[in-house]
Chains A and B, each alone.
Chain A
């Protein structure tokens, strides 16, 4: 259990995999950012735990990887490509749409 202003947040997949990543990284997603916004009094905002019922662990892992990747190379040019397995392409696209990333 983390309190609302904690530095790390927990993302939980449909099949109950938990990913703990920095709040700043997670907030790249518009959806998650709003979900966690402490000023709106939703339960996720209060607990710092987001259950993402539409996503499987595999996809969410890739999503988290992207979050961290983005965070790492935020303001740089000449960034190395991120490896995306082609079989996950479509599902990741859907996730991106859902998460507003």
Chain B
């Protein structure tokens, strides 16, 4: 424990002797305070004043001191400052109060205004400074007596400034207060700036700061700032009027580009103004007004302005303009409705144009005099290359249709990226528009498949991998827009099978790439069959090789071997309707092959069934080709050999002539009987053998273009060709073309059957899982399951449900609402 020290008593009142009563100390203080007010404080000691104030407080007279100081400052403001400020208000300012025309006597008013603002600013700053000093001196008083009961002396003095300077009337006789003049002056300045003049921003900024620093109430809540209560409403009102007028004015100019440019500028201006001249807190409010009155109420009109609106911009690639429109629209509407609408409309319009032109073009071509039946490729050579066949023309236009759409898409992608800031909403709506008009063209699936066909056959030759990739990607993108994907699948399979069997595909790699892209886009199920087509092709290659080996080992060496290259196809995976005769439902007896071929056929059948028992091979002669070596005996006795590459049917026909004596003829019916080639194919093959000028291996009697059942044919020994190898194409198998009306109806019918199956399968799947379901729920589920592949017809679903009930897969279990149950 430390020893206890004696605590020294504090010595009180070192200078008690000098001053110990309130009045004499106050006298000293008041003199000094006035010195402070007149900015003459450098001689005064802070410590002395502080000590005096301290003492008064210690004497328990703090309240008196507070009142005294307040009184003193009030007198000072009333007598000096107020006069100074009101004097700076010139008559013109007071008069201008009533005139609303800003441009009127603007320079005079402006000058007077600036003078007034400067005076007010000075008065305010002086007041602030001296009050700061007074507060410092009275610090002890503030701490002791004011805390919690009264506003600090500083706040009180600020309130005094408000009451006695700002709220005082300008002229004794008028009710106009200084605040009113201040308000109108600042608004006047702002309107000057809005109309392009340069104003003294810092000055206004100071006055605004003053308003921000003063409060209506002694408690000084944020919301009671003079700025908010007095000035801001007026500012907003003025802005509103200004932008309403501005909107009207700009609309009258009637130029969307100008409107958007100016509006964008205005936005930036207001932002800057609020930040540097006025108060930051007003920024959102002013901008809100601007959005409301300048943009929102006008944007639709602007976007739709004839000749300069968005449509014009789109047509002329005015990306800047579009960007402005986008920004403005984005300000007022999250969904950018106005802009999106116009863009969509335009896309659909342009799309329709493309659709129409793809229809018009072939019509125009068809109108041109070009006689003959559709789809005879051989005749093309006869007529000369310059005149293309209507159907061919249609194919070209189909491909052009796709190209046009892709170009359009690229264009809008560019616009979207550069002008619309990669906006998600707009992207999806652009997509929807594309899908909209693409699906308007009922043949879009077919056209797109033709586009792929064309490109995979020839288009990609000489292109780099990258280019091919882009090409395919573009195609896939269009596929995304097509609703009836199953239709596309059908066409694609058809075209693909031709490419594969006729070996027309330019690159297997590209084909595979295409499949994998489709798989990514539409799903596994979609490409399953197409993939298995590829598998069949590879298996067949092996098979052919194996068979060759087999023949080489076991074959009869004496017999002239016939090379066989075979493709064994799984019938469910390939579009069999291509090969089977589609004409009538009657069983078509298989074609009778010549002896040589028949042996080969049975030999292969044995070979194949040895390996795979229980399978049935059916021979599709219509898709094959054969190489023949033909000997022509000229009338001069010379012989000429040609190698003919013909279709399987044509081979069968030609070999028939081997069996008859030289110079004899066969009638159409005789050929038909001996070969059992279907009429349709027979006619076409005979046409290419006997009618086409360059490949006239047979002579026909009478010589006409059409093949009639009574026509006679005989071997043309005078056949002549500059080449040793002659390729005799058959029309039907040739190129993939746009279907004609009948074919399309056929495809559609088949499509509908297939869809019926898919719908039933989907319904059963759903019901099996859910057991019972109401009608509407079942509808929605079915629609959502199927929408990946196509958009089913509601009536068709209804019919399918009925049919399933009839066949006792489903039953009705309730009427209200209609409900179905699954019958196991």
A binds B: yes
A98 within 8 A of B: yes
Q: Which of B1-28 contact A (CB under 8 A)?
A: 5-11, 14-15
| Residues A90 and B7 in contact, CB atoms below 8 Å apart | yes
| Residues A44 and B7 in contact, CB atoms below 8 Å apart | no
B43 within 8 A of A: yes
| Residues B54 and A98 in contact, CB atoms below 8 Å apart | yes
The interface bits of chain B over 22-45 (1 if a CB of A lies within 8 angstroms of the residue's CB, else 0) are 000000000000000001011111
A79 within 8 A of B: no
| Residues B10 and A90 in contact, CB atoms below 8 Å apart | yes
User: What is the bound-complex CA distance between A56 and B7, given in angstroms?
Assistant: 16
Given contacts A42-B42, A100-B139, contact A87 B6 (CB under 8 A): yes
| Residues B8 and A44 in contact, CB atoms below 8 Å apart | no
Interface size on B, residues (CB 8 A): 29
- Minimum distance in angstroms from A51 CB to a CB of chain B: 6
A50 within 8 A of B: yes
Given contacts A34-B136, A43-B43, A87-B6, contact A100 B143 (CB under 8 A): yes
- Minimum distance in angstroms from A48 CB to a CB of chain B: 12
Chain B minimum-CB-distance residue to A50: B47
Given contacts A34-B46, A35-B46, A45-B46, contact A89 B7 (CB under 8 A): yes
The interface bits of chain A over 88-101 (1 if a CB of B lies within 8 angstroms of the residue's CB, else 0) are 11110010001010
Q: Which residues of A contact B5 (CB under 8 A)?
A: 85-87
| Residues B54 and A52 in contact, CB atoms below 8 Å apart | no
User: What is the bound-complex CA distance between A86 and B2, given in angstroms?
Assistant: 11
Q: Which residues of A contact B49 (CB under 8 A)?
A: 42
User: What is the bound-complex CA distance between A23 and B6, given in angstroms?
Assistant: 34
| Residues B46 and A42 in contact, CB atoms below 8 Å apart | yes
Chain B minimum-CB-distance residue to A14: B14
Q: Which residues of A contact B10 (CB under 8 A)?
A: 90-91, 94
- Minimum distance in angstroms from B43 CB to a CB of chain A: 6
| Residues A100 and B47 in contact, CB atoms below 8 Å apart | no
Cross-interface CB contact of A43 among B6, B45, B129, B139, cutoff 8 Å: B45
User: What is the bound-complex CA distance between A89 and B136, given in angstroms?
Assistant: 27
A53 within 8 A of B: yes
Q: Which residues of A contact B51 (CB under 8 A)?
A: 53-54
- Minimum distance in angstroms from B226 CB to a CB of chain A: 24
| Residues A44 and B46 in contact, CB atoms below 8 Å apart | yes
- Minimum distance in angstroms from A12 CB to a CB of chain B: 10
Chain A minimum-CB-distance residue to B55: A54
User: What is the bound-complex CA distance between A55 and B129, given in angstroms?
Assistant: 29
- Minimum distance in angstroms from A90 CB to a CB of chain B: 5
Cross-interface CB contact of B139 among A31, A53, A89, cutoff 8 Å: A31
| Residues A87 and B136 in contact, CB atoms below 8 Å apart | no
- Minimum distance in angstroms from A52 CB to a CB of chain B: 6
- Minimum distance in angstroms from A101 CB to a CB of chain B: 12
Cross-interface CB contact of A35 among B6, B50, B140, B143, cutoff 8 Å: B50
- Minimum distance in angstroms from A34 CB to a CB of chain B: 4
| Residues B129 and A51 in contact, CB atoms below 8 Å apart | no
A77 within 8 A of B: no
Binding site for B on A (CB under 8 A): 14, 30-31, 34-35, 37, 39-46, 50-54, 56, 85-91, 94, 98, 100
Binding site for A on B (CB under 8 A): 5-11, 14-15, 39, 41-51, 54, 129, 132-133, 136, 139-140, 143
